[in-house]
Amino acid sequence: MTALQISALIVVGLSGTAIALTPSPLRQTLLMAIFGFALTALFFAFQAPDAALSELVVSGIAMPMIILAALRRLADQHPSKGSESSPQAHGDEAREKAR
């Protein structure tokens, strides 16, 4: 194996581990895109350009965009706890009126 192949394997291993250890879905999505680009480099290093191009499109571009769109939709459907429409904010307002 060449130094390029070994370094590509190390980058893929480290980025895959980083995805598994990251708790935030948004950060996992961004790391998944980096992982896709690392796999693309790995496939090119092992002389599989057809697999590399497929990996580039699917894992590096399309999948992160789909996941980011889904996360955005979930965020729009479920407002954060700090907003005025949260149940906790309504509970605070009810306590203030009761005083």
Asked whether the whole model's pTM tops 0.85, one would answer no
Tell me the pLDDT of the chain averaged across its residues.
84
Tens digit of each residue's pLDDT (9 = 90 or more) over 31-42:
999 999 999 999
Which residues constitute the domain of residue 36? 3-98
pLDDT at position 86, please?
Answer: 46
Query: Is the pLDDT score of 16 beyond 80?
Result: yes
In the DSSP assignment, the letter for residue 24 is -
Nearest Cα to Cα of residue 32 among 70, 65, 9: 65
Domain count, the chain: 1
Kind and range of the H or E element at 49?
Answer: helix 49-55
pLDDT at position 50, please?
Answer: 94
**58 CB contacts (<8 Å, ≥6 apart)?**
36
Mean pLDDT is lowest, of 11-15, 28-32, 49-53, 75-79, for: 75-79
The CA distance from 92 to 19, in Å, is 38
Q: Which two tokens stand for residue 6?
A: 């070994």
N-to-C CA span, the chain: 75
